[in-house]
Amino acid sequence: MSEKRVITEEDLYRIQWVNDPVISPRDSSIAYVLKKVSEKHDSYYSHIRLMNADGSQDIPYTTGEQDTSPAWSPDGSRLAFLRKKNDVHQVWIIPAHGGEAQSVTDYKHGVSAFQWAPDGSALLVKTEIDEQCHEAKNIKQSEPSSLPEEIIVNRIKYKSDGSGLWNNRRQHLFITDLANQTSTQLTTGPHDIGSFAWSPDGQNIAYTSNIVSESHPDPDQRLTNDLFVTDRSGTSSKQLTDGGLSIDSVSYTPDGQSILMLADDLNCGFATLTKIHLIPVDGGECHKLYEDLDIQLGHACVSDMRAGAGTSPVFSKDKKSVYVQFSQNGGVHVGRFFLDGSRHEVVISGDREIYQFALTPDENIIFAAADPLQPGDLFTYQNAAGTETRLTWCNEDLLSEIKLSEPEMFTFDTADGWPIQGWIVKPVDFIEGSKVPAILEIHGGPQAMYGHTFMHEFQLLAAAGYAVFYTNPRGGHGYGQVHVNTVRGDYGGRDYQDLMEAVDYVLKTYSFIDESRLGVTGGSYGGFMTNWIVGHTDRFKAAVTQRSISNWISFYGISDIGYFFTEDQIWGNPWEHLEKLWKHSPLAYVSQVHTPLLILHGEEDLRCPIEQGEQLFVALKRLNKETQLVRFPGADHNLSRSGHPHLRVRRLHHIVRWFKEHIEI
């Protein structure tokens, strides 16, 4: 056997991603999505695979170039999925025994999400419709003009990262009858539909939206939404909540008498922990379950392997409890929460990120999980026996070739007595007794967390000869409400102190770290903090800021979330709190920067627009500081996780290059 090599940037092209496991109610066979980079490295391909419940006979099931979102029919006889064709996604259905897949929808702007009706006779689909015509049928368009056309903007929420400028469309619900291929529109109006669910008897649909009302004349100005129920014809709709919740997902309870919501009341703004809420379908008081439970429900772990993750709540076979993911202490786990609020229990845990799961008919759990040494695979958990079996080994060929460095976890107490969790990764070919440079990594959000998961960027730096350390300072999820709420109104305060004390702890505890050869990097909020750090200390020899924030004053008006995020996180706006916003802006301290700073930014980033990086770059150049700006064309805020494969590789290259140029190995 040949000696293993270190990981490279280009190994991204060989990684395969496992997603969306779904279980057949007929024979417990598992369909799942396998995504990989195309051979030309210009895009991603994904197809659906099928295997037996024990992981045997794992075979390709669909042949499209981009097939996603599989869902079994209620009787397990058919599998529906989304297939991209002609630049839009439509629902296709394939028989359980295999054969030719058939397209069953033909919406003008495609389908973004769908659910089977409980009896399998229809699909509930969400699609975009042109606001001026309020229907999804093909509309005859006027001949395009060769002259430039102006764009008239009336909404404050007129752009969105990943989507671009608002296209004058709204997301609405339709029912597609599979027998006669007819489509019935359920919702309409100048608002968008969020989460949705069928009632168990198939006669009603619950959904969330943000509808114009007397108390909310401009829904774009509010941060909450509401729950509605409509009958199957769409003629009778009823609002169940009063505008006090921000609702993430909705599901009918198995008895059809209540609707379960994962939601928060914004008591701590965007830092508010998500809770389970139950509300009667006929209206009435909404009950918050496990109100005193100080954990974040849902998936909050960041990784450069995926841009989004998570599974909606799944009810137990006995209908008395619900399985929900939760994020705690750097791990994403699966818990069971009883609907009477009496108790909850951890079902699957461990030092890993469980990013999706599904329940089998006999209540075993199929889950997708990653850990620091593998990007993600499928596992089965036998609920009764408490045993676990791995089902797939999708990246085994690549992992058998490369050397990885396993992170070591640590915890330290800050000066004010607050415990902070972190990890350190030694260089891959570390020699005992040697002194090595180290890179501090800072996560985005800040309402997120680093955890027990695979990070290509960290392993690449370790392969290049650097130790890598990363922590979850205050402001992030995983450690309760006080921890995540502390940063609000104090960006650059306690969070910065936590990070600097983490550096002090690492230098004191790990004698192999050379304090004269430190680097720092981070993206989004981590980019903000990188900018802040180099304006407040010279202890780092080099820094790389990614998709960052440098100026809260301009961020307020240029980011797709700027106006409400700035008010929630910095507690101010430019016309009343100009001094406060400037005080918390890294650009205000640019004259104090002496650290060579590389600025990486996507040109299509609307979350932290490239203007933020440009301001910082121009100021640094004007002051004759050492800096460089790298622009990624066509890249949005998710470049590092789901962007163009080639640009993801180039991004990694520039990070390592900059540190090598400025920090001696």
Res. 133 pLDDT band, cuts 50 70 90: low
Convert the pLDDT of each residue in 12-33 to its tens digit: 999 999 999 999 999 999 999 9
- Which two tokens mark 162? 């990943």
Residue 113 lies in a domain: no
Extended strands (E) in 13-168: 16-23, 30-37, 44-51, 59-60, 67-72, 78-85, 88-95, 102-103, 113-116, 122-130, 159-160, 164-165
Q: What is the DSSP letter of 1?
A: -
Convert the pLDDT of each residue in 507-524 to its tens digit: 999 999 999 999 999 999
Chain-centroid distance, C-alpha 104: 29
pLDDT at 234 over 90: no
Give the per-residue pLDDT at 154. Answer: 93
pLDDT at 140 over 70: no
Convert the pLDDT of each residue in 590-617 to its tens digit: 999 999 999 999 999 999 999 999 999 9
Convert the pLDDT of each residue in 345-374 to its tens digit: 999 999 999 999 999 999 999 999 999 999
Res. 142 pLDDT band, cuts 50 70 90: low
Residue 491 lies in a domain: yes
The answer to whether 586 touches 535, Cβ cutoff 8 Å, is: yes
Give the per-residue pLDDT at 235. Answer: 85
Beta strands at 44-51 and 59-60: parallel, antiparallel or unpaired: antiparallel
Kindly report the three-state secondary structure assignment for every residue of 336-355: EEECCCCCEEEEECCCCEEE
Residues 6 or more apart whose Cβ sits within 8 Å of residue 588: 535, 582
Instruction: Tell me what the mean pLDDT of segment 389-411 comes to.
Output: 98
Kindly report the three-state secondary structure assignment for every residue of 242-268: CCCEEEEEEEECCCCCEEEEEEECCCC
- Which two tokens mark 361? 């008919």
Residue 494, classed as helix, strand or coil, is helix
Q: Is the dihedral of CA 317, 265, 547, 597 positive or negative?
A: negative
What is the distance between the alpha carbons of residues 419 and 324, in angstroms, rounded to a whole number?
A: 26
pLDDT at 139 over 50: no
What is the distance between the alpha carbons of residues 328 and 368, in angstroms, rounded to a whole number?
A: 17
Domain around 654: 405-662
Q: Is the dihedral of CA 470, 519, 586, 638 positive or negative?
A: negative
Closest CA to 267 of 324, 223, 227: 223
Residue 554 lies in a domain: yes
pLDDT at 1 over 70: no
The answer to whether 35 touches 305, Cβ cutoff 8 Å, is: no
pLDDT at 329 over 50: yes
Chain-centroid distance, C-alpha 517: 33
What is the pLDDT of the chain when averaged over all its residues?
A: 96
- Which two tokens mark 2? 């040949």
Give the per-residue pLDDT at 145. Answer: 75
pLDDT at 77 over 70: yes
Q: What is the CATH number of the domain that holds 608?
A: 3.40.50.1820
How much of the chain exceeds pLDDT 90, in percent? 93
Q: What angle do CA 579, 583, 589 make, to 5 degrees?
A: 130
Number of domains in the chain: 1
Give the per-residue pLDDT at 213. Answer: 83
Beta strands at 164-165 and 204-209: parallel, antiparallel or unpaired: unpaired
The answer to whether 615 touches 623, Cβ cutoff 8 Å, is: no
- Which two tokens mark 534? 């180099």
Residue 490 lies in a domain: yes
What is the distance between the alpha carbons of residues 513 and 518, in angstroms, rounded to a whole number?
A: 9
Convert the pLDDT of each residue in 244-273 to its tens digit: 999 999 999 999 999 999 999 999 999 999
Q: What is the DSSP letter of 301?
A: B
Tokens 């922590």 label which residue?
471
Residue 561 lies in a domain: yes
Extended strands (E) in 511-653: 513-523, 542-546, 597-602, 627-632
Residue 151 lies in a domain: no
What is the distance between the alpha carbons of residues 393 and 404, in angstroms, rounded to a whole number?
A: 17
pLDDT at 115 over 50: yes
Q: CA dihedral in degrees (591, 597, 601, 603; nearest 10)?
A: 60
Q: What share of the chain is helix, strand, coil (3-state, %, to 5)?
A: 20, 35, 45
Convert the pLDDT of each residue in 178-202 to its tens digit: 999 899 999 999 999 999 999 999 9
Residues carrying an active site annotation: 524, 637
The answer to whether 612 touches 548, Cβ cutoff 8 Å, is: yes
Residue 492, classed as helix, strand or coil, is coil
What is the distance between the alpha carbons of residues 321 and 332, in angstroms, rounded to a whole number?
A: 19
Give the per-residue pLDDT at 138. Answer: 40
pLDDT at 141 over 50: no
pLDDT at 144 over 90: no
Convert the pLDDT of each residue in 101-110 to its tens digit: 999 999 999 9
Residue 455 lies in a domain: yes
Convert the pLDDT of each residue in 290-304 to its tens digit: 999 999 999 999 999
Give the per-residue pLDDT at 143. Answer: 65
Amino acid at 653: H
- Lateral strand order in the sheet of 246-252: 246-252, 258-264, 275-280, 287-289
pLDDT at 636 over 80: yes
Instruction: Tell me what the mean pLDDT of segment 325-332 comes to.
Output: 98
Give the per-residue pLDDT at 216. Answer: 83
Residue 497 lies in a domain: yes
The answer to whether 552 touches 566, Cβ cutoff 8 Å, is: yes
